[in-house]
Amino acid sequence: MDETDTFWFRPKRYGYGVEPKNGRGWLASGLFIVAAASVAWFGLVAPAVGGQEASTEQTALGWGALIAITTGFVWFCHRRTDGPWRWRWGQID
């Protein structure tokens, strides 16, 4: 695997953050969205829609899982980004 295969994301041209660079980056982003939406739905929203009140433990577990998934995805993006993370005003290094 060459060096270009290791980078799935690139720094955004404006602002702070990254965007998908290739199909792998888009797939990872899509999987993150599906995972986060699933955790949010089944852990936080579905009990309320079903007419049940979620317990404090269920709510804490749902938020904890959502925070863990998001933290893991940000770490993964940082490891797979082509360039440093910093604020940009239209120029990419």
Enter the pTM of the model: 0.80
Q: Which two tokens stand for residue 66?
A: 């959502």
Chain segment 30-80, per-residue pLDDT in tens: 999 999 999 888 877 777 776 777 678 888 888 999 999 999 999 999 999
Higher pLDDT, 6 or 22: 22
Residue ranges with strand state E in 1-93:
9-11, 14-15, 18-20, 88-89
